Every structure is written in structure tokens, then in C-alpha cells.
Amino acid sequence: MKDDKYAPHNEDGSDEDLNALRERIDDLDHRIMALISERAECASTVARVKLAESPEAIFYRPEREAQVLKRIMALNPGPLANEEMARLFREIMSACLALEKPLRVAYLGPEGTFTQQAALKHFGDSAICTPLPAIDEVFREVEAGAVNYGVVPVENSTEGIVNHTLDSFMDSSLRICGEVVLRIHHHLLVGENTRRDKVSRIYSHSQSLAQCRKWLDAHYPHAERVAVSSNAEAARRVKSEWHTAAIAGDMAARLYALERLDEKIEDQPDNATRFLIIGNHDVPPSGEDRTSLVAAMRNQPGALHDLIEPFQRHEIDMTRLETRPSRHGAWNYVFFIDFRGHLEDPRVRAALDEVHQRASDVRLLGSYPMGVL
């Protein structure tokens, strides 16, 4: 027993105590397993009921999953943190859902990007996630039905909006089915042959270079900064190059087994990116939802005020307003609006009725549960 690597190293814990504790853990594991199996049976029955109602039934219910995770966090007795407990249940739900059929998800790749991390955070490990090289390709794959959902970035708290994503909505009939907010931590990564004082070039995506600008000015003022197509591509390059470093996140660092010279080098400690889940169906209310729409206005004085005034009057909390050039005619603009609430809420309906009358065109992009984790 003494050569057991788990044997107690402190004076007070005897082998007998530890053995008893391990027996208790074994017993708890068996009970947890029996409960998880029972839960999985239940989820399978739900799937059969849904299938009996309609052969087109959608097994995945984002609003229900958001409610489950919120309830788990509210009831969590500790000592595990709420996020940890919810993460475990996220995986249990993911595995239960995959019993029926694993979800197929496309994300803006390559592998190792924050978007992959967002896909994993939202759908769990049992979904089959495929990287695609461009945002419009993610849209196309979902439209074609080749995958069930897509994951694309939409805004970063320090650098602002991802224009490609907003523009893709203009030509698409897809719906927003969910959102994921990810805390973004950037690390300075090198391959095994590069020393700290030899770094002469730093690769990253332009957004990440911008998010670490002050840190780079202070620590590597003379290194050349080279923008590449993604953080993961930056990591891939430094794997085989000398005297270069990449700025990228955990997924890329792990994927390419790079050394972390410095961690969490982002200028804003609360740096976060919001991602959208795109699909082809509406999502019922979860109780805490957001709605997105795009509206085109006639080009006249006071147009923007007219557009947003109904939201204010109906006390709807607008969380984002973005302007993009319209594809139809020079100097025409469209407005992307996010607000709290669901299309089924009476107040939201009342405000939208008025918006419809005032705008020349309104397209509802969907109501969806606000990011839980």
C-alpha cells in the first residue's frame, strides 16, 4: 500500500481513512452513473415522443437547455463553482442528445480558434463540429442542410463588430438560435526552438493584435506584427519557425503544443467575444431571451430616431445598434438591432408593429436564449 501514489503524505491521514473515503467515492460514482443512465433513458423517451408528434421533430431545444443550466447554477450547493457544475451538466445533456443523433455543427475554423471553443462550450463534446474557412461558408452549409447549426463570431468587447457576420445575414434566411459569450484570453506562444529574447516577429489575427496592442508596445516594441487569417494559423506557423511567436488562445496552444511565454496578455482583462448560433428554425421563449433584427430605413432626417423610439416607449432594453451600408444603392444604410425580450412577448410585439410601419424593410433574425455560461 505504501507505494500507492495516492497514499497519504501528511501525518494525520491513515491508509484506513483514505480507503474508507475511496470506497465512499466508488459508491457515489455508481450511484451517479445509475442516475445519469436513468436521465439518458428519459431524454431518449422525450426524443421518441417528439418523433411520434412529427417526423421533422427537432430534438435539440436551446431554450430548454438554457433553463436546465440556469436551474443547475441556481441550485448548486457547492463546493464546485456554478460554472463548473453547469459545464458538467452541459456535457451530460450533450451526450443524452447524441444518443438520438449527434448534432452536426459547422464553425468558423480552422481548428484551434476561439470559435471552436465557443462551439464546444455551447454544444458540448458529443456534437460533431467541423471547421470551415469562411463565415459565408458556415452560412451556406447550414442553409444547405449539410449541418444542423453554425457558429460564427459577431462582436468583441474591445474591437467591436465582425462585419462579415452581419453582412452574411443580409443575404440569408437563417435564424439566430442562440449566443455564446466567451472570455478571451490571449497568450504569447512559441515553438520549442525560440527563446524569449529572440522573438523578432509576432503573428496573430488582426483583432487579436489590436486587443494586445498596449502589451506588445510595452514588451515587444521592435518585433514585426504580422496579421494572418486566424490565431490558429498563427500558432501553426510558429510551430515550424524560429524566432517567431503567435498570439492565440488555449485551444491553439494545446493543438500545436506550444510553449506559453506569457499568459493573459490582452489589454482589457474583461475581453470577451460574442458568438451566434445560426440555424433554420425559431426558438420558443426560455424566460431570458434576446431578439435580433435588421431594419432598412428610408433615407430621411430623423429616420434612426423614428426607428428606435418605439423600443424606448415600450421600455424594451436595446443592447446593441449597428449601422451597415445597404447593398442596395450608395449611401443607404441598414440597422442591426439587438434587444432583450422574445418575439412572443406582448410588449415586444407592440414595439415591432410600430417598427414595421416606420421602416422600409424589417427582417427578424430570431429570438434566442441569452448566453448562460
Shortest CB 67 distance to ligand ISJ, Å: 9
Angle between helices 62-75 and 82-100 (to 10 degrees): 150
Q: Which residue type sits at 362? A: V
Shortest CB 93 distance to ligand ISJ, Å: 4
Looking at the Cβ atoms of 49 and 318, the one nearer to ligand ISJ is 49
Looking at the Cβ atoms of 28 and 51, the one nearer to ligand ISJ is 51
Looking at the Cβ atoms of 61 and 236, the one nearer to ligand ISJ is 61
Looking at the Cβ atoms of 125 and 317, the one nearer to ligand ISJ is 125
Cα–chain center distance at 19: 42
Shortest CB 87 distance to ligand ISJ, Å: 15
Shortest CB 21 distance to ligand ISJ, Å: 31
Shortest CB 294 distance to ligand ISJ, Å: 28
Shortest CB 90 distance to ligand ISJ, Å: 10
DSSP 8-class letter at 196: G
**List of residues 6+ apart from 301 with CB closer than 8 A:** none
Cell of 311: 423600443
**List of residues 6+ apart from 364 with CB closer than 8 A:** 291, 292, 293, 343, 352
Shortest CB 59 distance to ligand ISJ, Å: 6
Cell of 18: 483514505
Shortest CB 45 distance to ligand ISJ, Å: 8
Q: Is residue 183 a contact partner of residue 269, using CB atoms and an 8 Å limit?
A: no
Radius of gyration of the chain (CA): 24
Looking at the Cβ atoms of 91 and 159, the one nearer to ligand ISJ is 91
- For ligand ISJ, the binding residues (CB under 6 A) are 43, 46, 59-61, 64-65, 68, 93, 96-97
Looking at the Cβ atoms of 88 and 318, the one nearer to ligand ISJ is 88
Three-class DSSP category at 193:
coil
Strand partners, 129: 105
Q: Where are the strands (E) in 172-240, listed by range?
A: 175-183, 187-190, 201-204, 224-227
Looking at the Cβ atoms of 96 and 184, the one nearer to ligand ISJ is 96
Looking at the Cβ atoms of 178 and 191, the one nearer to ligand ISJ is 178
Q: Is residue 259 a contact partner of residue 189, using CB atoms and an 8 Å limit?
A: yes
DSSP string, 242-306: SSEEEEE-HHHHHHTT-EEEES---SSTT-EEEEEEEESS-----SSEEEEEEEE--SSTTHHHH
d(CA 311, CA 334): 17
Looking at the Cβ atoms of 42 and 146, the one nearer to ligand ISJ is 42
Shortest CB 30 distance to ligand ISJ, Å: 21
